[in-house]
Structure 1
């Protein structure tokens, strides 16, 4: 069993320690570059480096991977960082890379800046960036994993420069146990001259990851911003005003494993960006399919041809969940009961559900199919009467809660295509006077 090493505190404060590390880095390494994300940690790190570079008459490079689905405030801050005087080359990379997509079972990966999805891009590609048209990286492959790009870039950069290379990364041990163990267990790794805040990347090459602010806390980051009057990403101010603790403020990848926080964050801070972010990954403009307008009274389904009815059902459920998780869970409960009934009484398991059944039988509610389920979702059938459910008091109570919680959840205009919803809204109007 590996024992976790305790933190060892010194008389030197973390700001002094960071400056000392940066001076050491610029003294020992021939080539230095900084990985920035627009987040608070890497932003502070590179601005401290700017001061040390000025003091030592050195230059450095910066690597920024632009994931396309970014806050507008983050892009503005990146443009601010580009003005730092001692930057030699700023690698603003906007290449099509594969990223995790935890919001969809249908599409577990998505490719940022995918040329085939140009009409869905969250924002236009920046003018001054590295794209497919001017890519200098011989290692790059269309749709390669982000993690592989980071490692391959380090080797490419080192081989193009020669000498010893430091890749500076703005991670803090306080963010996670894994990060703490990065420096707490040096026996697991090769370090540079025994420095616990360094890690050798390649056995045969002198390339090291270095972590100048590894021992900082969130308070230290904001203390440095205030004390040194550093530039900062305005998105953190918006997060704070939105009631988010400084310990939970992170630039979440909107479709990553923490996607609910990421998407909710986008929705609260930059609603316009949020709408584009949602449409981007599903590949179909969900707002056009499930926008709760009179268009939903149509006879034709809006299922894309390339999707099966089962896939389309999953797509609709995932998309509803992105907009309103409580509503998705309401529908999911109904669908599960519907499927269980057919399994118990007809012996039809989930894997046996047909894509389509006889249309007459579906309309008479006498056959199960993925089409029947999808059409109920498309029709905004809150009570799921199309799946043979009766309108219950608990459903009515739930719908009332939804309407009172979200002001635009349901209106007279959007309810008019469904008789039951229309009656509900009429009762609401009478009760509200």
Structure 2
């Protein structure tokens, strides 16, 4: 097999702080777009974006700064209090959306989604509707997720809109690849759902340390939920303000019972499987650091048995993720899929596929991490990527 030429773009280091670079990007966005809107979550990254955008808006006379906050109902009292403080700032025009967004529920295979602020389940809401909450959005249809409806507030307008996000490339290889696809304005991406909306990541090159230092250095307000995380001894990579029931944050679901016991009692009544997940998310039951399949099964047999635990239409959705991963393997190599060692070129093995089945991987996050699995195997074997590609030339052509 002839090795294909690879397109690489190495990082370029410049003699400029990330703070100054982010301010320059903000000024560029204000010059290029008619409207600049901050997507505010209450987390540390969106806090940095909000404050930087506010500084530039003041500098350019573009106040008030627009911000959109999607209230996901199961948020902490600290996050709600922080959003209320931001909403009260005279230089910020915050729209507080409380619409029935569809959210992932990795706690349950039978009900893998739940809907915040569902009007049909009003008696089960974990919090009263906020005073500033907006409950209707033109064009919104129940079942939409945030990426599906984020462009709706701007429909019918001829203005170009820059939606500012707190996306950083340090957090995932997928985000790094997205940023390196272009060399000019690599932090600006046109929304796939709208012709006049651009998704902009002005702090893409900030590190965890940068984000944590900035509020202290500049005296910014922040979400006090992080103080609780710090008191619990969580490391900074674990301290995330996000929907608690998704596949990635599931391992820290138990912290809600410790930090917010009164809210937690309402949360476990609100979302199916939450109490079970809080207790067992870090065990084999949810695929956490699974070392061996049960009952003497092979990883391959266990993968298909787990798939059968899902009801339709979810079984078909998980099966699609598995087929996509297997297809990627077949596209890259002629080697059969190993039981437990990720392939050095595709990153696929039946152990990884079993973990995908256990977690559901409805957002295809695990598929995006297969490249990292491949790199780990290359490191263990002491091979470079070019050497792994060269091995394909000696393959006998047998797939399975």
Common fold by TM > 0.5: yes
* 2:347 match: none
2:66 paired residue among 61, 66, 69: 61
* 1:200 match: 190
1:95 paired residue among 74, 96, 99: 99
- Unmatched segments (≥5 aa) in structure 2: 286-293, 296-307, 309-400
Residue 92 and residue 104 in structure 1: after superposition, are their counterparts in 2 closer, same or farther (change >3 A)? same
* 1:184 match: 180
**1:76 maps to 2:81:** yes
* 2:243 match: 253
* 1:305 match: none
Distance 1:84 1:195 in 2: 31
Contact 2:102 2:145 in 1 (8 A): yes
Give 1:321 shift.
4.6
User: SS in structure 1 opposite 2:179?
Assistant: helix
* 1:126 match: 130
Give 1:3 shift.
4.8
Contact 1:320 1:327 in 2 (8 A): no
Q: Render the CA deviation track for 1:206-234: whole Å, top value 9, x for unaligned.
A: 42111111110111112211111011101
TM-score by length of 1: 0.61
**1:6 maps to 2:5:** no
1:109 paired residue among 102, 106, 113: 113
**1:322 maps to 2:278:** yes
Q: Render the CA deviation track for 1:333-358: whole Å, top value 9, x for unaligned.
A: xxx99xxxxxxxxxxxxx9xxxxxxx
- Unmatched segments (≥5 aa) in structure 1: 188-193, 283-314, 330-335, 338-350, 352-433
Q: Map 1:115-264 to 2 at 5 A.
A: 115-131=119-135, 135=136, 137-150=137-150, 152-153=151-152, 156-157=153-154, 159-160=156-157, 162-186=158-182, 194-201=184-191, 205-264=195-254
User: SS in structure 2 opposite 1:212?
Assistant: coil
Say what the alpha-carbon RMSD is for the aligned residues: 2.5
Distance 2:173 2:283 in 1: 35
Give 1:145 shift.
2.6
Q: Render the CA deviation track for 1:356-386: whole Å, top value 9, x for unaligned.
A: xxxxxxxxxxxxxxxxxxxxxxxxxxxxxxx
TM-score by length of 2: 0.65
Contact 2:107 2:276 in 1 (8 A): no
Contact 2:159 2:196 in 1 (8 A): yes
User: SS in structure 1 opposite 2:68?
Assistant: strand
User: SS in structure 2 opposite 1:208?
Assistant: strand
Q: Render the CA deviation track for 1:227-265: whole Å, top value 9, x for unaligned.
A: 110111011111111111112211242211125324122
Name whichever of 246-255 and 49-58 sits farther off. Answer: 246-255
User: SS in structure 1 opposite 2:253?
Assistant: helix
User: SS in structure 2 opposite 1:166?
Assistant: strand
Aligned length: 283
* 1:311 match: none
Give 1:27 shift.
1.8
Give 1:325 shift.
6.1
Distance 1:203 1:115 in 2: 26
Q: Render the CA deviation track for 1:268-310: whole Å, top value 9, x for unaligned.
A: 322222222111112xxxxxxxxxxxxxxxxxxxxxxxxxxxx
User: SS in structure 2 opposite 1:78?
Assistant: helix
* 2:270 match: 280
Residue 159 and residue 41 in structure 1: after superposition, are their counterparts in 2 closer, same or farther (change >3 A)? same
Residue 322 and residue 84 in structure 1: after superposition, are their counterparts in 2 closer, same or farther (change >3 A)? same
Distance 1:325 1:143 in 2: 26
Contact 1:201 1:209 in 2 (8 A): yes
* 2:383 match: none
Higher radius of gyration, 1 or 2: 1
